[in-house]
C-alpha cells in the first residue's frame, strides 16, 4: 500500500498524470458509450481519482473502488466528483445487478494475480472479481481493463477467469511493436458478443493487420441441436478435462492428439 506521502507524490507527478489521463481516455473510448446521455461507470483501482477526473470531464458519473486508504484520502482532498469505496475487489464487487453502464480499470487487475496472504488464491480471487463484475454491469455493456501482465501465463489466467464468469471479448493491444507505447486492454462484453475494437498502431506497412487476441465463452464447432458439445468430440473431451482440473484432479496435458480417433488395428 501507498502511505499518505507516497500517494500525494504519485498524484502530483506530471508524467504519471499525463499517462493516466491518456490510458483513461483510451479505456473510455473502448467502452463505446452512447453519446446522447451520461452514464454511470465503475472505476476499479481508482487510486486518487485521476481516471475519474477524465470520466467527469466527459460528462459521466462514476464510483471508484480502491484497496489503499492513503490513495482514497488524496482523492477526497482533491474533491473528486465520484463516490469512493475502500474495498478489495478480490472479495467481489458489492453493487446491485445491472447498476453500471460500463467499467474501466487502469493498471490494477494484475495485482489480483499476487497471493499477498496465505489464504489468497489468485484464480479464486479473479473469478470472484469477474463473476460479481459481470452481475453489476448492465446487459450489452463493456468493461475495459488496462493491465501490465508479467507474462503470458498471467494473461491466460486473467482471461480464463473472465471467460468462466460469462464474459466474451478479448485483448486489444495498442502499438504491439513498440517497447514503450505497447498497452494491453482487456475488452469484455456482457451479454451479446460485440466486435472487438482494433488496437492502435496495429496496421503494418503492407496494409495487413496484426491479429488481436480474441476469445469467446461459447464453443460452436462441435455442437448438437441442444447446444451441447457432441459426445467424444475434441471439444467435449477438452471441456471434460478442464472441469476435472478445476476439481483439482490430475489430468494429462492437452496435445494436438487430444480427441483424435485412433486408426483401427488389423
- Mean pLDDT in residue range 146-169: 92
Q: Measured between alpha carbons, how far is 200 from 174 in angstroms, rounded to an integer?
A: 5
Average pLDDT over residues 56-76: 95
Report the pLDDT value the prediction gives residue 215, as an integer from 0 to 100: 52
The answer to whether residue 201 scores a pLDDT higher than 70 is: yes
10 contacts 16 by C-beta, under 8 angstroms = yes
Alpha helices by DSSP H, listed for the chain, are: 4-12, 14-31, 50-57, 69-77, 122-136, 152-164, 234-246
CA distance 238 to 254: 8
- Whether 249 has a pLDDT exceeding 70, the answer reads yes
* CA nearest neighbour of 106 among 17, 210, 166: 17
Given the C-alpha cell 478489495, which residue does it identify?
Answer: 88
All domains of the chain in start order, with CATH: 4-215 (3.40.50.150), 230-265 (no CATH)
What does the DSSP assignment read for 14-45?
HHHHHHHHHHHHHHHHHHT--SSS--EEEEET
Which residue reads 480427441 in cell numbers?
259
Write phi, then psi, for 173 (nearest 5 degrees).
-110, 115
HSE-CB at 17 with a 13 A cutoff on CA atoms is 8
Percent of the chain with pLDDT over 90: 54
Task: Quote the pTM value.
Answer: 0.74
pLDDT at 90: 94
pLDDT tens digits, 113-156: 987 766 778 999 999 999 999 999 999 999 999 998 888 889 99
C-alpha distances in Å from residue 97, one per residue of 36, 65, 163: 23, 17, 19
Tell me the per-residue pLDDT of 14-45, one tens digit each, with 9 for 90 and over: 888 888 899 999 999 999 999 889 999 999 99
202-208: list long-range contacts, CB under 8 Å, 24+ apart: 202/173, 202/174, 202/176
Amino acid at each position: 500500500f501507498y502511505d499518505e506521502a507516497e500517494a500525494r507524490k504519485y498524484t502530483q507527478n506530471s508524467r504519471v498524470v499525463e499517462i493516466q489521463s491518456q490510458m483513461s481516455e483510451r479505456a473510455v473510448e473502448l467502452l463505446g458509450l452512447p453519446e446522447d446521455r451520461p452514464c454511470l461507470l465503475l472505476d476499479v483501482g481508482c487510486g486518487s481519482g485521476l481516471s475519474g477526473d477524465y470520466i467527469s470531464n466527459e460528462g459521466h458519473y462514476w464510483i471508484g473502488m480502491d484497496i489503499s486508504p492513503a490513495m482514497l484520502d488524496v482523492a477526497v482532498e482533491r474533491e473528486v466528483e465520484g463516490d469512493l469505496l475502500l474495498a478489495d475487489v478480490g472479495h467481489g464487487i458489492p453493487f446491485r445487478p445491472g447498476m453500471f453502464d460500463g467499467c474501466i480499470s487502469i493498471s490494477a487487475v494484475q495485482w489480483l494475480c499476487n497471493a499477498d496472504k496465505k489464504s489468497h488464491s489468485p484464480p479464486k480471487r479473479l473469478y470472484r472479481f469477474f463473476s460479481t463484475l459481470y452481475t453489476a454491469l448492465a446487459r450489452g455493456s463493456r468493461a475495459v481493463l488496462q493491465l501490465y501482465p508479467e507474462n503470458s501465463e498471467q494473461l491466460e489466467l486473467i482471461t480464463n477467469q473472465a471467460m468462466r464468469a460469462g464474459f466474451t471479448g478479448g485483448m486489444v493491444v495498442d502499438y504491439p511493436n513498440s517497447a514503450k507505447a505497447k498497452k494491453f486492454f482487456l475488452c469484455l462484453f456482457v451479454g451479446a458478443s460485440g466486435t472487438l475494437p482494433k488496437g492502435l498502431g496495429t496496421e503494418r506497412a503492407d496494409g495487413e493487420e496484426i491479429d488481436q487476441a480474441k476469445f469467446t465463452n461459447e464453443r460452436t464447432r462441435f455442437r448438437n441441436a441442444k447446444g451441447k458439445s457432441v459426445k467424444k468430440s475434441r471439444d467435449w473431451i477438452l471441456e471434460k478435462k478442464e472441469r476435472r482440473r478445476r476439481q483439482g484432479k490430475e489430468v494429462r496435458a492437452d496435445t494436438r492428439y487430444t480427441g483424435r480417433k485412433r486408426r483401427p488395428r488389423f
